[in-house]
Every structure is written in C-alpha cells, then in structure tokens.
Structure 1
Amino acid sequence: LIVRVLRERAEGGGTQRSADAAAVGPSLDVARILDAARPVWEAGSGPVHELVRVDLAAGGELVRSLAAYLDASGDVARAAARLVVHPNTLRYRLRRARERFGVDLDDPDTRLLVTLAVRLSG
C-alpha cells in the first residue's frame, strides 16, 4: 500500500521515493478505505454511478471537473485554475452534473459518494 501511495503521489508531481507508514499517514488510510469501498461501489447504481459511467465513456471531463472541485473544497476559482479553465466553465460543468444526472453536491452524502467515485474511477 505504501508503494501504491507513493506511486499515486508521483503521478501528481510528488518526488518522494521511499517512506514508512507514518510518513504517508492519512493517504494510507484512504487507500485502505478505497479498497474496502470498491466492491460496494461496483455493485451499486444510481445517479452518481450513471454520471461516472457515461462521462468516462465520453472522455471523463465532468469527472475530472468534479474531482478538482472537491479537491479544492468547493473553491471554484482554485479548481478552475487547476483545470486551466475559466471559473464559469467549471460552474457550467457542475450545473450539468446536477441537471443531467441529478447529482446534488450540496448534499453531504452525495458529495462523499462523488468523492469516492472519482477516486475509484482513477
């Protein structure tokens, strides 16, 4: 798991090549949670599942936008900068998720499920 965490960090630009469990702390716990949640996610259905399935088949733009938005704790300007898009473009994408798929990011349970879904989808 530690190697996987370091590999994921390297994909995000990290340069750390070795670590112990204490050094990767929360990331290690998240990896364990995602491993436990994967079978539940894969057996599930609903609006978030539909959004991820449809969007990934179309290239994943909406999933990447949701991931950036959630990683930025809902800060549209910061998430848009990370995606290199105008903030209004990100707002449009978030609105599309709500209107087309019924995904309400104001609901904490939905936000958690979307967070898990985008992490599990890659």
Structure 2
Amino acid sequence: VVPSALLAAASCEEAGLVVRVLAERERRGGVRNPVRYAGPAEAGPALDVLRMLDAVRPLWEAGSGPVHDLVRADLAAGGELIRTLGACLDASGDVRRAAERLVLHPNTLRYRLRRARERYGVDLDDPDTRLLVTLAVRLTGDV
C-alpha cells in the first residue's frame, strides 16, 4: 500500500522484484518450504542484488574478455562450466559441498575448474575474476 498514486509505479516495480527474488530462491533450491508471499523486508539483500544485476546487464552484454568467452562458449555447449562455477561460488569455494550440489565426484568438479582456468584463463583465486564470474553466473540465470 502506498500513500499516493504517484508512488504506485515504484511500488509495482518493487513487487515485481520481490516476486523475482522468491522465484530465484525456489529455483536455486536453497529453501525447503518456499515462501509464496513476502514484502521487501522479507526479500532482504536479494532485492538490491536484483536491482544491481539489472543495472549491470547492459555493461556485461557489451563486454569482452576471458570470462565472456567462457560464458558464450559454455552456453553454446549446454552450460556445464557455468553451473560448476556457480555451485563453487555458492559453496564459497568448498569443493565437496559444490560437488554434492551438482551430484558429482569432487575430482570431477576440480577437473572442470582446471579446464576453465586452462582453456579460458578464468581463475577463481583472483578477486576481480571471481566477481566477474559471479555476475556472469547470476546474469545467465545459473543455466
């Protein structure tokens, strides 16, 4: 509820973002009992993250470099590396946890990370690369 009709458009936009946050949480499987109704407070920082991703999308689409090359090639091949990188980032680099999420052996996950580093020069140990990969994974919808 907004106090004025002048604020209705902003309220509608915010409601749309909250719906996207809830859908994303359910899609990523991080919630056992999905929330069907929420407001901006319940959406938490994910609301701001979506706003930032929407703002960054045009910059990403116009960009180039190793991470862009990896994303374009991997999406064309089915998105295996992007899913692997996303799981690794979500698990804060914990290979066992990321492998469990992907239902893989940890050595298979390590192999995929090594392949991303060797083929595309994408090294998650570099903070700038890690941030760019995180944005790329989120912008591609974690395939």
- Structures share a fold, TM > 0.5? yes
Could you tell me which runs of 5 or more consecutive residues in structure 1 were left unpaired when the two chains were aligned: none
Q: Which residue is 2:125 aligned to?
A: 106
RMSD over aligned Cα atoms: 0.8
Partner Cα distance (1:83, 1:104) in 2: 20
Q: Which residue is 2:26 aligned to?
A: 10
Partner Cα distance (1:17, 1:43) in 2: 35
How big is the shift at 1:78? 0.3
- TM-score of the superposition, structure 2-length normalised? 0.83
Q: Which residue is 2:96 aligned to?
A: 77
Runs of 4 or more, structure 1, over 6 Å off, are none
Could you tell me which runs of 5 or more consecutive residues in structure 2 were left unpaired when the two chains were aligned: 1-16
Q: Which residue is 1:55 aligned to?
A: 74
SS at match of 2:35: coil
Question: Larger Rg: 1 or 2?
Answer: 2
How big is the shift at 1:10? 2.1
Q: Deviations over 1:22-61 (max 9, x none)?
A: 1111110110110011000000000000000000100100
Kindly tell me the number of residue pairs found equivalent between the two proteins: 122
SS at match of 2:64: coil
The one-letter code sitting in structure 2 at the alignment partner of 1:11 is R
2:135 to 107, 116, 122: 116
The one-letter code sitting in structure 2 at the alignment partner of 1:42 is E
How big is the shift at 1:99? 0.2
Partner Cα distance (2:110, 2:58) in 1: 31
The one-letter code sitting in structure 1 at the alignment partner of 2:121 is G
